[in-house]
């Protein structure tokens, strides 16, 4: 297992959530085991996703894919995302953030 934290800003959280939740099968095909979506409690346009992946190579392929870039664009992601990878979820700091929702893919 490997964990990945992706942080970014969105133009509209509801638009982002609709695109994100509709793409679970894509993430699953790249070995996603689930995700937790956090927001800044003072600004729900600041989003952090923590993913659990079964395969580090597939995670990297997904994270670098043109498909992900297009999906982020259609979801209203503003600016470049920040990525961090860890062997343990506890290494990915989400202190001060609020869990908005989680997925199984």
CATH number of 2-100: 3.30.70.100
Q: What is the pLDDT of residue 104?
A: 93
Residue 27: alpha-carbon gap to chain centroid: 10
Where are the extended beta strands (E) located within the chain? 2-10, 32-40, 43-53, 77-86, 98-103
Give the other-Cβ count within 10 Å of 3's Cβ.
Answer: 19
Q: What is the pLDDT of residue 105?
A: 86
Domain boundaries, the chain: 2-100
Q: What is the mean pLDDT of each run of 10 residues along the chain (105 residues)?
A: 97 97 96 97 96 98 95 95 96 96 93
């Amino acid at each position: 297992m490997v964990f990945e934290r992706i942080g970014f800003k969105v133009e509209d959280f509801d638009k982002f959530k609709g695109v994100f939740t509709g793409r679970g099968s894509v993430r699953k095909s790249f070995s996603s085991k689930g995700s937790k979506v956090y927001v800044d409690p003072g600004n729900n346009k600041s989003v952090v996703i923590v993913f659990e992946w079964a395969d580090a190579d597939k995670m990297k392929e997904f994270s670098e894919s043109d498909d992900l870039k297009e999906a982020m664009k259609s979801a209203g992601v503003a600016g470049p995302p920040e990525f961090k990878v860890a062997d343990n979820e506890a290494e990915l700091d989400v202190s001060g953030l609020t869990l908005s929702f989680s997925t199984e893919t």
